[in-house]
Structure 1
Amino acid sequence: MTGMSVIFAPLLPWVVITAGAGVAVLLVALALWRGLRGWALRGLAALALLAALAQPSLQNEERQPLSDIVLLVDDRTASQDLSDRSAQTDAAVDRLSTEIAALPNTELRRVTVHDGAQNGGTQIGAALAEALAAEPRSRVAGAIVVSDGQVHDPELTPDMPAPLHMVLTGHRRDWDRRLVIQTAPAFGIIGEETRIQLHVEDEGMVPASAGTTADLTVSIDGGAAQDYRVQVGQDLELPLKLEHGGQNVVQFSVAPVEGELTDRNNTAVVQINGVRDRLRVLLVSGEPHAGERTWRNLLKSDAGVDLVHFTILRPPEKQDGVPVSELSLIAFPTQELFIDKIDEFDLIIFDRYGERGILPASYFRSIRDYVERGGAILVSAGPEFATVESLWQTPLGDIMPARPTGRVLSESFLPRPTELGLRHPVTAGLDGAPPPEGDPGDKHWGRWLRQIELTDATGEVVMKGVDDSPLLVLSRAGKGRVALLASDHPWLWARGYDGGGPQLELLRRIAHWEMKEPDLEEEALQATVEPGSLTVNVIRRTMADETPPVTVTLPDGATQEVTLAPAGPGRFAAHWQAPEAGLYRLKQGDLERVVALGPASPREFERTIASDEPMRAAIQASHGGVAHLEDGIPAVRRVSEGRLAAGSGWIGVTPRGASSVTDLRVVPVLPAWAWLILAAGLTLGAWLVEGRGRRRA
């Protein structure tokens, strides 16, 4: 196939040539107005000069016809495995491939689409854009998508140069029930009602046997389930109470109904972090001293802590005549604090408090009972703890984790973590910690100058001082916790004495461990998910030297064992690759952890009813059509561009008539000297005609 065309290679810009043509037209018009007989020849001479400047050439092309290309997109995502859609797709792809191959001068490009990464769903729009970019647009005669139509990136569908058709799998009678979480808080207050809004809806041709109600089950961390009967198609608001801090995995499940397409979208998972409303702390200082401000600064710096602080400025035995109104703003409300409202406090701190008759024995029994019911006390001991005024001599002695010997060790010593303390979350990993034994090196904590000697420790000794005697002892009493710090000199770290130390971090950890902060539990099983993957980081914190494997229960009920490797003192860890998204339960002994990988219902199953709605706009813009495989596989025809490209039982592709240039010849219309001779001849002819006319006149 050949083609002839005229091309130009102007010697001057077209603007200059155009201006010259305008001047020539004016001169010819002037000659005609004056009646000069050679005006026509002069015009032709000017035209020849302009043509010489434009340099016209004849271009002869040898063209090779190119075949048309039809894109066939094959949807193989998870939703295509529902019902008999996979068999429908196989049959449709085979038949369409055969018919397209039978069309004259037509090639097939097949594109298979799988589930998008990171729960991306069906990404047919991106697949079409990529396939179209790989082919010349002038050769694309059409595109056919075999899918259920639930496309999750329709906005990425390119502007098609030819008809785009959708061949839908599935059946018109299909229906499905799904659970949708509308709003869920990221945080919830422990013990208080948290409300979650959800919606149960039916889609498709719902049979009457499906009913108008559904059975909804709610469970937290896989625990005891709560059952509800809910209305289908109505917005619901369910109350929920979180029982512990940290991450709470809440699972909602709707009972499956016979006949629905799938029950994969009948489950939803929400992760809510449980937080305390506000922690209430009672700080009782036995006397003003340099470290009192340390405790107050620590507790006041935490916005989530309500602090009630009393300091005993004058003990009962001191009678100096100063009115009580000048010593305090309010009287010490002992009855209200230690009897009536003691359970409202999360922690009671006794800072250098000595029993001097201010609180009767019944109040200390009330404090002891409060701890055994789940409360917490922290004793920061000063010299009075080694005397007859010691809290050990009160009913609190029944829950104290160590007994004072009566000696006050007033000497410089270096606080050190014990071997147990290297594992305990309260003291593990503190910056600059010296080793339990041996040379502490150049960088270590600052020294303290006073310690109360303790003996008969029944709790966990996590720090030691003079002659390896217990310095910090932690223990449990009933459901509560007790911490005993055998020194009143942590404030030296805050002042930078001898280099200082992590005073605020240590005291914060002690206080929050007593208030049962999940991140500070000695025995804990943690699981975190690496973003954008199915990798679970399993961490086991324990005070033991070794730990057994963790049993993982998969979404389908099968179990696997994960072996943990040492990852530091008191820590064992493993990286486990989950086989699929879903809800997993990790268990080791009495410890359990529930972790959600991706949504409980993958994006592929959010909507399962076949529909062309997501891509309808792109199909209509390309003048394509929609065919249902339930009505039979459509035939493929060739139709002229601009004509109807789809009809009953058929879809059309548009031949593009594209070709490639195999040979190109360019020949000037006239050489430059020929144009000049032609212009000169025409000018001479005009001069002769005009001269003869003047002689006759």
Structure 2
Amino acid sequence: MNQVLAGIDFAPVVPVWLIATLAVVALAALAPALLRIAVTADGKRRLAPAAGALLRLAAFAALLLALANPRLVEETRETRPDIALLLVDRSDSTGVGGRAAQIEAARQQVESRAGRLAETELRVVEVAEGGNQGTRLWTAMERALAEIPRARLSGVIALTDGQVHDLPAAPGLEAPFHLLLPGRAGEVDRRIRVVEAPGFGIVGRQVELRVVVEDLGAPAGEGSGAARLSIRRDGGAARVESVPVGREHRIAVNIERGGPTVVELTAEARPGEVSELNNRAVVSINGVRDRLRVLLVSGEPHAGQRTWRRLLKADPNVDLVHFTILRPPEKDDLTPLHELALIAFPVRELFQVKLREFDLIVFDRFANRGLLPPVYLRNIADYVRGGGALLLSVGPEFAGPTSLAATPLGQVLPARPPTGPGAAQAALLEQAFRPRVTALGARHPVTEDLPGANPVDGPGEASWGRWYRALRADARAGSTVMEGPDGAPLMLLDRVGEGRVALVLSDHIWLWSRGHDGGGPQAELLRRIAHWTMKEPELEEEDLIARIEHGRMTVVRRSLEASPPPEITVTAPDGMASRHQAEARGGRAVAELPATQPGVWQATDGRRTAYAAAEAGNPLEIADLRADAAALRPLAGATGGAVRWLGTGEAPEVPELRRVAAGRDTYGPGWIGLRRNEDHTVTGITALPLLPPWLALPLVLGLALLAWRREGA
């Protein structure tokens, strides 16, 4: 819209200070004539300017006015419309109840009413979900304001539930900020807040959770009392406790196994609360074992005797007790015992009194020469059946008469050497060979994806170094994961009762650690064997694992079976079940699916069940689900804006929009105002001199001549 405005302007032809100086000089020169005192006939004194003094004053004024150069200026202006900003909150908390629909209806009304205002442009900004950062309303507003000249900003209208998480300490905004909230004031929300939850716990011990059940917005005197809290562990039966509202409550959780333990906490709903979304909290505690106690008994000295010791000593989580048998009992070379050992071999203490305190027992080329009586070997076998771990790395002694396979311990071993005349010599395989991973071993987590392993589904050898000795044995149980010459079992893994046994039928693995013939993954393989026997969760060969990261659930089924994997049934926290076909990847079958619903998810393959915890995608958003003006009310008050509720009816109660002049009130009953800025762009200027030189010169000379004539009269 164009406007034409007229006014008087001055464009001095000389500096202003010179005009002011001339004015002072003129007044000083005319002062005696203007201030002359005359005496009347009756003797009174009165002011009587000299003849022609006023005309001289007029001549000087005309001269100074000509120097000031007055002009009549006509300015053509193009007015620029004011800009109002409408912020529409689309974060997750606005989806509670009917807020989203109410905000959308209010948006349409505001847009319609703003369209009827003259010289007003409405810009709409959608405030999207901010993830773990909460509602970023202020950030969205500043991004929009960066494209708006502040001289044209007439106001900001925010359609939000008031849950804003990026408001600065001192927000600077000059235009009025109006807040429109869905619903009515006085909403109440119950939530459960986890004060402290350990991420790890020692297997066999308890950890403590600290939680608080709070009633937000409850009237005075109603925010206390007790609430029922359901505690569910790994999807099991719920345990219900009565907890005080508003006070911290402690919950003891037993860590019974390694890996994640999922604890779900649910507070009973409060009558009239906004939503039950934040009445639930999920905590995942990873069970870890305390420092592992390992007993290593080395028998006949050999070149690789230090292999196991170095491996176990390198692990900071292992407490190692190591004994080496330097001389068998039947050998007598008259060397005093105190020169052979620092302490006597505590057979009874180790293999009877404190046997079950060890997490793993390792025999490295140990021969039964009467050092361990049968009763102690039977204790070790019982220890394995009861959940213990046993690992044997054997050499030629395993095929002879002193073999541990011929003792009560042989009942838990997965392989036996051949017996009979000449069997010991026949069992000893001394030839160069490269260990091979079997088809079963390619699926087993201990030998799966070993660097340099042979291809299982085609011809070819492993790229690691050769060994030169192995023992032939008859596998009678367990899984043969590696094989030696002519397909003879080389490494066997077996579950016995509640425990586990690993048997390595060669004493040449140490060649890999020396880099012989290219070396091999000796440290990684031995680490996996040791940790598998100690039931490390990530090395379970028959297992179902579920985890949730970044809103997606991954279910991994591990199995030694080569058959197609079964479908995975996944149950969401709301009880909705879905079936998914897992993709086979060697010994694993993997299924992935979105998991945005917070709570405990359950996955099962028909035999095993796994649980995973999905925390709320935006914990800040669900921390308080009330529509509350507390955070934004100070900003509205500081800028002269209003706080209005949209009500609970079908149609939102949106106030009328008005344009108000700067400095006037910007809200009143039933209306909110947008400031009229009257910003404009000048498109043209026309200047007309009011005292041009051709007029100024005769005017000054004429007044001067009249003054001279008046003085001479």
- The TM tier, using the shorter chain, reads 0.7 to 0.9
Distance 1:493 1:76, change over 3 A: closer
Taking only aligned residues, the RMSD between alpha carbons, in angstroms, comes to: 4.1
1:155 match: secondary structure = coil
For residue 566 of structure 2, the aligned residue among 539, 548, 552 is 548
1:639 match: secondary structure = strand
Aligned residue for 2:87? 73
Distance 1:550 1:206, change over 3 A: farther
Q: Does the 8 A contact of 2:282 with 2:614 survive in 1?
A: no
The residue type paired with residue 548 of structure 1 is P
Distance 1:390 1:97, change over 3 A: same
Q: If you compute each CA radius of gyration, which structure gives the higher value, 1 or 2?
A: 2
The residue type paired with residue 481 of structure 1 is R
Does the alignment pair 1:640 with 2:661? yes
- Spell out the pairing of 1:270-285 with structure 2 (5 A cutoff): 270-285=283-298
Q: Does the 8 A contact of 2:131 with 2:617 survive in 1?
A: no
- Spell out the pairing of 1:188-587 with structure 2 (5 A cutoff): 188-206=201-219, 212-405=225-418, 406=424, 407-435=427-455, 440=460, 444-531=463-550, 534-545=551-562, 546-567=564-585, 569-578=586-595, 580-587=597-604
CA distance in 1, matches of 2:643, 2:449: 64
Q: Does the 8 A contact of 1:215 with 1:229 survive in 2?
A: yes
Aligned residue for 1:597? 614
Q: Does the 8 A contact of 1:265 with 1:601 survive in 2?
A: no
CA drift at 1:60? 6.5
Distance 1:439 1:611, change over 3 A: closer
Aligned residue for 2:135? 122
Q: Deviations over 1:525-573 (max 9, x none)?
A: 2334443xx2333332221122011111112211111111222x22222
CA drift at 1:112? 4.1
CA distance in 2, matches of 1:376, 1:666: 102
Q: Deviations over 1:101-129 (max 9, x none)?
A: 44443333334445x14355433223322
CA distance in 2, matches of 1:437, 1:222: 40
1:142 match: secondary structure = strand
CA distance in 1, matches of 2:552, 2:625: 28
Aligned residue for 2:676? 655
Q: Does the 8 A contact of 2:489 with 2:505 survive in 1?
A: yes
CA distance in 2, matches of 1:107, 1:419: 72
Distance 1:251 1:669, change over 3 A: farther
Distance 1:326 1:666, change over 3 A: farther
2:451 match: secondary structure = coil
CA drift at 1:210? 8.1
CA drift at 1:297? 0.5
Aligned residue for 1:64? 78
CA distance in 2, matches of 1:591, 1:404: 36
CA drift at 1:267? 0.6
- Spell out the pairing of 1:22-41 with structure 2 (5 A cutoff): none
Q: Does the 8 A contact of 1:176 with 1:206 survive in 2?
A: no
The residue type paired with residue 637 of structure 1 is R
Q: Does the 8 A contact of 1:540 with 1:571 survive in 2?
A: yes
CA drift at 1:153? 2.5
Unaligned runs of 5+ in 1: 10-16, 36-46, 676-680, 686-697
| Identical-residue share of aligned pairs (%) | 45
1:166 match: secondary structure = strand
Aligned residue for 1:621? 638
1:433 match: secondary structure = coil
1:289 match: secondary structure = coil
Q: Does the 8 A contact of 1:172 with 1:205 survive in 2?
A: no
CA drift at 1:6? 11
CA distance in 1, matches of 2:475, 2:615: 51
Distance 1:210 1:160, change over 3 A: closer
CA drift at 1:381? 0.6
2:352 match: secondary structure = helix
Which segment drifts farther, 308-317 or 246-255? 246-255
Q: Does the 8 A contact of 2:412 with 2:501 survive in 1?
A: yes
CA drift at 1:200? 0.8
Q: Deviations over 1:259-288 (max 9, x none)?
A: 222111011112222211111110001122
Distance 1:495 1:6, change over 3 A: farther
Distance 1:71 1:203, change over 3 A: same
Q: Does the 8 A contact of 1:283 with 1:348 survive in 2?
A: yes
CA drift at 1:395? 0.8
Distance 1:278 1:5, change over 3 A: farther
Q: Deviations over 1:297-327 (max 9, x none)?
A: 1000000001000011111111222222221
Q: Does the 8 A contact of 2:87 with 2:126 survive in 1?
A: yes
Q: Does the 8 A contact of 1:415 with 1:447 survive in 2?
A: yes
CA distance in 2, matches of 1:4, 1:192: 89
CA drift at 1:296? 0.5
Q: Does the 8 A contact of 2:428 with 2:471 survive in 1?
A: yes
CA drift at 1:243? 1.9
Distance 1:76 1:168, change over 3 A: same
CA drift at 1:256? 1.7
1:444 match: secondary structure = coil
CA drift at 1:97? 4.2
The residue type paired with residue 297 of structure 1 is R
The residue type paired with residue 570 of structure 1 is G
The residue type paired with residue 312 of structure 2 is L
Q: Deviations over 1:374-431 (max 9, x none)?
A: 0010011111111111111111111110111232112222111111111111111111
CA distance in 2, matches of 1:322, 1:397: 33
The residue type paired with residue 540 of structure 1 is R
Q: Does the 8 A contact of 2:475 with 2:489 survive in 1?
A: no
- Between Structure 1 and Structure 2, how many residues are aligned? 657
Distance 1:244 1:157, change over 3 A: farther
The residue type paired with residue 108 of structure 1 is L
2:417 match: secondary structure = strand
2:678 match: secondary structure = coil
CA drift at 1:523? 1.7
Distance 1:278 1:476, change over 3 A: same
Q: Does the 8 A contact of 1:583 with 1:600 survive in 2?
A: no
Q: Does the 8 A contact of 2:596 with 2:617 survive in 1?
A: no
CA distance in 2, matches of 1:7, 1:564: 85
Q: Deviations over 1:592-649 (max 9, x none)?
A: 2222334278543220222222223432332212123349543433333233323444
The residue type paired with residue 521 of structure 2 is P
CA drift at 1:656? 1.1
The residue type paired with residue 491 of structure 2 is L
Distance 1:87 1:500, change over 3 A: closer
TM-score by length of 2: 0.82
CA distance in 1, matches of 2:388, 2:589: 30
Distance 1:665 1:105, change over 3 A: closer
CA distance in 2, matches of 1:4, 1:525: 86
Distance 1:380 1:615, change over 3 A: same
TM-score by length of 1: 0.84
